Amino acid sequence: MDLNLHNKIEQLYQMLVTLDDANRHYTKKRGQFDPEDLETYATILAARDSVIKRLEYTVDSFWKMIKVYMETVLGLVIAENGPKPITRTAALRKVISEDEASRLIEMIEERNKTSHMYREEIADEIAKHAPKAYTLMHTILDRLHQNAMA
């Protein structure tokens, strides 16, 4: 396997671990919600924001890894750049399914909302979708990793 692709895959596995850890911590803290306890509430908000930040950089790295995968494993020259064009190209080249592409684009749109985190309802929505994003990225990454090793 190409060293650059191998490094990106390993890096993404580590990012997914930290995203999963942050999400579990947030879920645990959210279960302790007490609006009267400002310290607990601040801890919950910090945990939520950690999930969002980790999701943000993991999504960014994920689509870039898919691009490197297509270039390295499939030998494609990818002229497009950006998460949505790369995702569409990956679906066209059968690297990911149409359903996965649709879900990845939704995830990318969620990631793009992170610049509006100051709005509580948007931040809560993004954090709520993080577990699904984690599962999707992990499933695709496992499959691509296996294919790259073959």
If you average pLDDT over residues 73-86, what whole number do you get? 93
Q: How many Å apart are CA 75 and CA 104, to the nearest integer?
A: 23
Q: What is the DSSP letter of 95?
A: S
Residue with tokens 């898919």: 66
Range 3-149: architecture per CATH: Up-down Bundle (1.20)
Cα–Cα distance for residue pair 58/54, rounded to 1 Å: 6
* Residue 99 banded pLDDT, cuts 50, 70, 90: very high
Question: Given pLDDT bands bounded at 50, 70 and 90, which one contains residue 40?
Answer: confident
**Average pLDDT of the chain, as a whole number:** 91
Do 50 and 25 contact (CB within 8 A), yes or no? yes
pLDDT exceeds 70 at position 117: no
- For 70, 84, 108, 122, the CA distances from 112, given in Å and listed in that order, are 24, 11, 6, 11
Tokens 């990012």, located at residue: 15
**Section 112-116 average pLDDT:** 80
**Whole-number pLDDT of residue 22:** 95
Task: Tell me, yes or no, if the pTM score tops 0.85.
Answer: yes
Going by pLDDT thresholds of 50, 70 and 90, the confidence category of residue 32 is confident
